Amino acid sequence: MFSRLDTHYHFDFIDEGERLPFLRACTKRGLRLVAQTLLPSCFHEDLEWAANARWDAGAELHWPTWSLGLHPWYIEEAQIGEELELFRSGLEKTRFIGEVGLDFAPRRLEAVPAQLQVEVFSEVVTMSCEAAVRGGVHGEETQKSSPLPHVLSIHAVRAASTALDLLEGSDALGRGLVPVFHRFSGTSDDLTRLIRMGGYISINPAMLTSKRGRAYIRQVPEERLLVETDLPAVSGASKEREGEAKSGERHGEELDETLNRILNSVEELRKKDLLEGLDKTQARLYRGF
């Protein structure tokens, strides 16, 4: 069932020794996940890990689909040229892109200026649109059926309008690049622009805690809704330092519990069963992995 899909999970926050137990826990529960990454170098490292881990995996697992990211928090001017080259090469290996975007919160701007963020995100969108037009690694499949879109998972804090401007200016939807705003926090006007553009929002627990987030969840057309956990909250290394490291099994339990809680809360807000529509939406964007 596609309703058991977490569209935004930080798989590389899990300690390597717990990754296979985590995937076994997910498989046992019928869970699938899109593994977002923070940098293109992390994406390539995850692919290498997965290729090696398959030898030790044993029984068939629900492997993640790997998403190619360049998160605004992790932009470093000295390394950005190399990371953008890795991003370009990564587009030959996936049609899922994220986590990428903009963060104009004051403390983030102190670390990465707005102009640099915009330049990087603009380059990411341009390269992703070019890959979508080419068809990427799914080129043969698009010849046999309807084209599979490239899916862009966007982080936008105090920057939704700027992100939308860049997407509209690049004709992203017209070129096969579908924007998904993860934990949407823009204005009502921004939300209207996103929906008219053909974009989606991905609901995580944080959206359920604010009045504005709950209002948006009620307003968005059913066929434009996705769900995500945005877990784990911090990296495995950070948890180890805090003495709170979780087992792979516990990570799987946490994902299952959180996803169920989101689904139940959204159904309560919208006064309607979500699963049938969600299955169709997720299958439309994420089929084939």
Q: Which two tokens stand for residue 118?
A: 């915009």
Residues of the chain with pLDDT > 70: what percent? 91
Selected residue with higher pLDDT from 188 and 241: 188
Give the mean model confidence (pLDDT) for residues 213-227.
96
Task: Indicate whether 2 pLDDT > 90.
Answer: no
Quote the strand ranges of 37-118, DSSP E.
65-66, 68-70, 96-103
Whether 244 shows a pLDDT value over 70: the answer reads no
DSSP 63: P
pLDDT of 193 > 70? The answer is: yes
Separation between Cα atoms, residue 170 and residue 159, nearest integer Å: 17
Over 60: is that where the pLDDT of 237 sits? no
pLDDT at position 139 is 40
Q: What is the mean pLDDT of residues 167-189?
A: 95
Length of the chain: 289
- At 101-146, the pLDDT tens digits run 999 999 999 999 999 999 999 999 999 999 999 884 444 343 445 6
Q: What is the pLDDT of residues 7-41, one digit of tens each?
A: 999 999 999 999 999 999 999 999 999 999 999 99
What pLDDT, on a 0 to 100 scale, did the predictor assign at position 236? 47
| pLDDT at residue 235, as a whole number | 52
The residues, ordered by sequence, that sit 6+ positions from 16 with a Cβ below 8 Å of its Cβ are 49
Q: Are 269 and 46 in contact (CB under 8 A)?
A: no
* pLDDT at position 260 over 60: yes
Over 70: is that where the pLDDT of 100 sits?
A: yes
User: Does 189 score more than 80 pLDDT?
Assistant: yes
Per-residue pLDDT, 217: 97
Mean pLDDT of 262-287: 93
- Give the pLDDT of residue 137: 44
Torsion of CA 78, 117, 88, 43, to 10 degrees: 80
Computed over every residue of the chain, the mean pLDDT equals 91
pLDDT at position 243: 53
State which of 1-10, 47-56, 81-90 shows the largest mean pLDDT: 81-90
User: What global pTM score does this model have?
Assistant: 0.92
Average pLDDT, integer, range 166-177:
95
Question: Which residues, 6 or more positions from 147, have their beta carbon under 8 angstroms from its beta carbon?
Answer: 135, 176
- How does pLDDT run across 145-157, given as a tens digit for each residue? 567 899 999 999 9
